Chain A
Amino acid sequence: MILVFCETKDGKIRKPSLEALCEARRLADGAGKGLGALFVGADTTGAGEAAQYGADVIVKIEAPSLAAYSSDGYATAIADAVKAKGATALLAAATSCGRDVAPRVAARLGAGYASDVTGLSMVEGRLQAVRPVYAGKAFATTGFETPVQVATTRPNIFALAPCPKAGAVETLPAPAGGFLAVVKEILTKGAGHVDIAEADVIVAGGRGMKDGANFGILEELAGALGGVVGASRAAVDAGWGLPHSMQIGQTGKVVSPTLYIACGISGAIQHVAGMSGSKVIVAINKDPEAPIFKLATYGIVGDLFEVVPELTKAAKALGK
């Protein structure tokens, strides 16, 4: 069996988890294996949705002690589920939670681990993973030497494909409490703040924006396109009050949107590391020699303060 650790938010399965589930279904079908969706927490409302995305079995580990996330508590629950179900592969989305817990589970199980993968296949009954290395300057194919294999999948790479299955619900015992480290508080960075790693459209601004207040014009364009705003490190470091969680690049977030619009960003190698996986790249820069143009699907040589408002206008007109 392939098991997928699924995260829920507001009573729904998070999209990166659904993507992992769909990819796991594809792998399971190819290898003639079953697929289990695993839910851990104090409240697993929303778990039923996993049946729509291919879960043969929905495994729940529910207890009040799991209300707040803890690396060791969740790792115990997940590793126990892998053993109880005799799963040979475990997938999780490469979210902050997945990246925190999956390696701990792998170490517990003595399993090989591949993180943030962008491609998966099953070779002779074992996973094989493709993952970007050297900040996307190369791709490594990872083979596993262990009977159990663990991998996290990069958000926005694997397609969603509904595929209804039985989704029989099963409950497993929860680990006893007394965990080593527990999340006590979530600090929200303002309402409506979304994770850029999950966004389908990103409008990013760099040093060319001149000031944090000017990011308003990017917000408007992002709004018209149904996207979110990101930034280069130069913009984040400039003291314009932009949070580090907006930063895209080698020391920021890695994003894989369908559409990436870089405004006043030169395209330094460390920035490219975070966005080279975008499907379509648009660059708006007044310097025709800016390296970002080497990457751009469509390049606009011009002043972003003239071009961006025109784009917003045109996008709004298109929306109607």
Chain B
Amino acid sequence: MKILVALKQVPDTETKIRVAADGKSLDAGDVKWITSPYDEYALEEALRLKESAAAEVTAVSVGGDKAKDILRNALALGADQAVLVKSAETGDPLAVARTLAAFAQDKGFDLILLGNKGFGGDNACVGPMLAELLGLAQANVVTKLELSEGRFKAEREGDADSEVLEGSLPAVVTAQRGLNEPRYANLKGIMAAKKKTIEEVEGAAVTPAVTTVTLALPPSRPEGRKLEGDAAAQAAALLGLLRDEAKVL
């Protein structure tokens, strides 16, 4: 079985966001870059399948040279090979999906795993777009995955409940928290990864379907009010304010 895992490099969750001078992109100055946390579940699932079902795992990332860091990490964790598809950051998820589709086409992957969304862009759409472009089944926001001969069964998160879906392989599956517990790289893996090469290919030229017109910080919330007194007095004051000042009751 051949598995492709797509990984995205994103700013660390704690990063303070600053807008660059162009008014539409992130000031990357002090940003610490990490693998998008949902992608870690996707990679972990692939590694578990490698261990239990002798799968071969290819990690891929679309981006610039610095994305090699997360690919190196994927190798350290146990991916068999890693590929960087070189592409300029356009901020357009359809362009990323098209680049990934062009790469995956005709390579015979049985399963393509991704995180259900990339931290930061929060678009949550590359997986389903990729499935459509490749004409494959999709299972999105998955918390449980079982494979059998040519088929998969997945549990996915719905709005208030969860859904069990079944479909044919090859398929695109996007991972949600709960699918597994990602492992950490050990020293042996890190040393081994240093000896492996990260393949580099040029991404197909794609025109973006969307562009960022502006990026702005949210308006700051006005200073709040602290309520005084004992619990009963605070409760009474709060209910009064919610009704008369905020008018939400």
Contact = CB atoms under 8 A, between A and B. Distances in A.
Interface stretch (A41-49, A187-195, A207-215): A187-195
A295 interface: yes
A132 B211 contact: no
Given A135-B122, A307-B231, A71 B131 contact: yes
Contact of A302 (B167, B217, B231): B231
- Taking residues whose C-beta sits less than 8 angstroms from the other chain, chain A's interface range is 35 or more
Contacts of A96: 141, 156-159
B210 A142 contact: yes
A47 B11 CA distance: 43
Contact of A297 (B140, B171, B210, B246): B246
A96 B11 CA distance: 25
A99 B127 CA distance: 11
B209 A297 contact: no
B197 interface: no
Contact of A71 (B91, B128, B159, B222): B128
A103 B122 CA distance: 13
Interface in A58-73: 69-72
A157 B92 CA distance: 24
B122 A183 contact: no
B165 A183 contact: yes
Interface string B189-214: 00000000000000000011111111
Interface string A275-286: 010011111000
A107 B215 contact: no
Name, among A132, A201, A258, A297, the residue most crowded by chain B CB atoms within 10 Å (CB to CB).
A297
B17 to A, nearest CB: 4
A187 B165 CA distance: 11
B4 interface: no
A183 B246 CA distance: 43
Interface residues of B, number: 87
B234 A307 contact: yes
Nearest to B97: A107
Nearest to A273: B13
Interface in B90-145: 91-94, 97, 119-133, 136-141, 143
Contacts of B136: 180
Interface in A68-82: 69-72, 75
A112 B210 contact: yes
A102 B93 CA distance: 13
B163 interface: yes
Interface stretch (A19-27, A31-39, A113-121): A113-121
Contact of B226 (A104, A194, A269, A301): A301
B146 interface: no
Given A133-B122, A310-B231, A313-B235, A259 B248 contact: yes
A245 B157 contact: yes
Contacts of B208: 112, 145
A317 B243 CA distance: 13
A84 interface: no
B147 interface: no
A303 B167 contact: no
B234 A112 contact: no
B138 A72 contact: yes
B225 to A, nearest CB: 6
A271 B121 CA distance: 17
Interface string A141-171: 1111110000000000000000000000000
Given A141-B213, A145-B210, A72 B137 contact: yes
B226 A299 contact: yes
B215 A99 contact: no
Given A107-B128, A115-B123, A181-B152, 8 more contacts: A96-B158, A139-B217, A144-B209, A145-B209, A146-B210, A245-B160, A298-B246, A313-B235
22 contacts: A96-B159, A99-B124, A104-B131, A106-B94, A107-B94, A107-B132, A111-B94, A113-B93, A113-B123, A133-B122, A134-B120, A138-B26, A141-B213, A195-B160, A244-B157, A245-B162, A259-B248, A296-B224, A297-B246, A298-B242, A300-B226, A310-B231
> Would you list the 5 A-B pairs with minimal beta carbon distance, nearest first?
A181-B167, A103-B125, A180-B137, A112-B209, A310-B235
